[in-house]
Amino acid sequence: MKSDKVREQQVPMESVYPMTIKSDYTYIKTNFSYLFFSHIAYTAFHWVLGVGFFQTLGQQKTRGKEHLRPLKKQGFITVANHCHLFDTVLTGLAVLPRRPWYASVQRNFEAPYFRKMFRILRGFPIPNGPIGLRRITKPVVDAINRGNIVHFFPEAELWHLYQDIDFFQKGPFYLAHHANCPVVPIVHLFKPRKILGKVRSKNILTITSVVGEPIYPRVLTAEGQRVDLESVQEMCDTAQRWMIERMTEYHFSGKDPTSPLD
């Protein structure tokens, strides 16, 4: 249970335009027209928010990108803490030059303004209901098999500017077992940036995005076989524990966030 102070940081997405996700819904689009316009929009967001706001004004840096080099020719899943309105942009910066697909809860695609933005920026919904994860399993696995990165926020809820790690959903790690692929954890660490010795705005941040080592399923899943749930839980716990350790180092140990990982 979160404190009242933390609850104030939650960013709800109001479901104004309810959508029905039909059985033939295309979660990950690969047609030329979509990819063309998505490329333009994604590039614009990268330069305006990624370079202009986060890297220049906010001094965003990424470390640990060497962990991505062995995976440059294969698909995999990434997970990160859900801590900023535009943390998808931060995640995009962390894995450049590759461009992930971003999974998000269905209500984000029913909200005013954001719904179209999410979709054009390589986003796709996780359908509501008990079989929502099952419905995206095939498109996600197919995308990974084509060499794509698919990103998830296992905390599910967005807590803007929150610097702690919440309860993890196991969905991304379950899908990683279906695809027999690694999960790469990313944690976004930040503090308000001081300009001329003073904090001018809580939204202008000094940000360090840390990319962790790939986490592989302990038990591979043969085609048509059940996923080993203990292996899924171990994978989830490993990613969450790694994020908590990096968060603790950054905020409480005084360790330089640009120094190499142990």
Give tens-digit pLDDT for 34-66: 999 999 999 999 999 999 999 988 889 999 999
* Mean pLDDT computed over 23-32: 95
Coil vs helix vs strand at 73: coil
d(CA 90, CA 256): 20
d(CA 165, CA 81): 7
Query: What one-letter code names the amino acid at 201?
Result: S
Per residue in 147-193, pLDDT (tens digit) is 999 999 999 888 899 999 989 999 999 999 999 999 999 999 999 98
Count of CA atoms in the C-beta half-sphere (13 A) of 40? 5
Token output for 90: 């931060």
**Between 250 and 258, the higher pLDDT residue:** 250
C-alpha 161, offset from chain centre: 15
Residue 132's CB: how many other CB atoms inside 10 A? 15
d(CA 30, CA 49): 25
Q: Domains of the chain by range and CATH?
A: 29-253 (3.40.1010.10)
Per residue in 213-245, pLDDT (tens digit) is 999 999 999 988 899 999 999 999 999 999 999
- What is the percent of the chain with per-residue pLDDT over 90, rounded to a whole number? 73
Using alpha carbons, select from 143, 161, 163, 159 the residue that is nearest to residue 151.
Answer: 143
